[in-house]
Amino acid sequence: MTHSVISLGLGLGGGKAGTSSGRTGGGGFANAYSVNFDQTDDSATGSEDSADVEVYGISAWVRPAAEITQNYGAADDVNTILGWGSSQWGLILGPASQTSIISCVPNGTNTAYQYKPASGTVTFPANTWMHIMTQWSDSSSTDSGNAGYDIWVNGAKVGNAVKNAPGTPVRGELKTTGFAIGKRLFSTGYYFGGQIDEISVFKDAVSDDNIATIYNAQPGGTGVPGDLADLLPLKPWHWWRMGDSVGGTGDTITDLGEGNRALTLDSATFSTEVPS
């Protein structure tokens, strides 16, 4: 099987630098914790239960400790949000020559189907909360009607332009063999530096309206995480609140999604830096 990749060449700014030690929005939804990763050896790991799961969409709030630049260098220039399946698969932010939002390596090789913004670049500034979302489309309007993952940053579609195309793109999969937050799976390197919050994974089609709801979930708080119950009938397969479900204590991140697969912290720590 040939697998697809999404590549993000980075450069559009405009996130939120503000943080809050716990924020309660409309409807009583509170967000008090994220998880901090040191870009050295921190991660959180888990696995699917009994069957691999195709990924239709991924949503995450990220706050890099350092600006993610476009100049390719060492592996620490590449920041993995969610890694799965093989050493290269995952939702990854990095320089233009390496970035893969969804990196699905075909046929066990290191050749990945990668995507990038349709035009321009997208920058993730240091110490600034940004929302990133990927959405599988069987006929992407930003890639000449071809299938692939569209890329959204802070509620705006930045496109789907193929950066590397080794074959026909297909959806990525979360595996029973494991997945990780904050690093590549089954390999060292590509660690994330900074905070990650409110990660959700969808195994059903995600609409533009769903993405707008995710980004604008809090009344009067555009770009602030909210209750994903508002997406009904669409339900997240995984929804890791990154500390709020456990009060920011212990070494487990519970899963409020239908998949119900908890994560185990490996050196990573809870933080009170949250989008606000």
CATH code where residue 64 lies = 2.60.120.200
User: Would 10 be classed as within a structural domain?
Assistant: no
Can you tell me the distance from the alpha carbon of 215 to that of 206, in angstroms, rounded to the nearest whole number?
A: 13
pLDDT of residue 74: 43
User: Would 5 be classed as within a structural domain?
Assistant: no
Residue 25 neighbours by CB under 8 Å, 6+ apart: 31, 217, 218, 219, 220, 221, 224, 226
- C-alpha distances in angstroms, 233 versus 167, 207, 236? 34, 12, 10
Q: Which residue has the higher pLDDT, 5 or 180?
A: 180
Q: What does pLDDT average to over the chain?
A: 76
Can you tell me the distance from the alpha carbon of 106 to that of 86, in angstroms, rounded to the nearest whole number?
A: 10
User: Would 65 be classed as within a structural domain?
Assistant: yes
pLDDT of residue 70: 47
pLDDT of residue 166: 56
Averaged pLDDT, 85-100: 60
User: Would 6 be classed as within a structural domain?
Assistant: no
Question: What angle is formed at CA 103 by the lines to CA 100 and CA 49, rounded to 5 degrees?
Answer: 135
Averaged pLDDT, 239-249: 94
Question: What angle is formed at CA 20 by the lines to CA 16 and CA 23, rounded to 5 degrees?
Answer: 105
Contact 85, 104 (CB under 8 A): yes
User: Would 12 be classed as within a structural domain?
Assistant: no
Contact 110, 89 (CB under 8 A): no
Q: What is the pTM of this model?
A: 0.84
Biggest CA pair distance of the chain: 47
- C-alpha distances in angstroms, 28 versus 24, 31, 245, 247? 6, 10, 14, 16
User: Would 196 be classed as within a structural domain?
Assistant: yes
Which of 48-62, 67-81, 223-237 is predicted least confidently? Answer: 67-81
Domain range enclosing 127: 23-271
Q: How confident is the model at residue 113 (pLDDT cuts 50, 70, 90)?
A: low
User: Would 276 be classed as within a structural domain?
Assistant: no
Can you tell me the distance from the alpha carbon of 87 to that of 189, in angstroms, rounded to the nearest whole number?
A: 9
Contact 85, 173 (CB under 8 A): yes
User: Would 255 be classed as within a structural domain?
Assistant: yes
Which of 77-81, 164-168, 221-225, 248-252 is predicted least confidently? Answer: 164-168
pLDDT of residue 26: 42
User: What is the number of domains present in the chain?
Assistant: 1
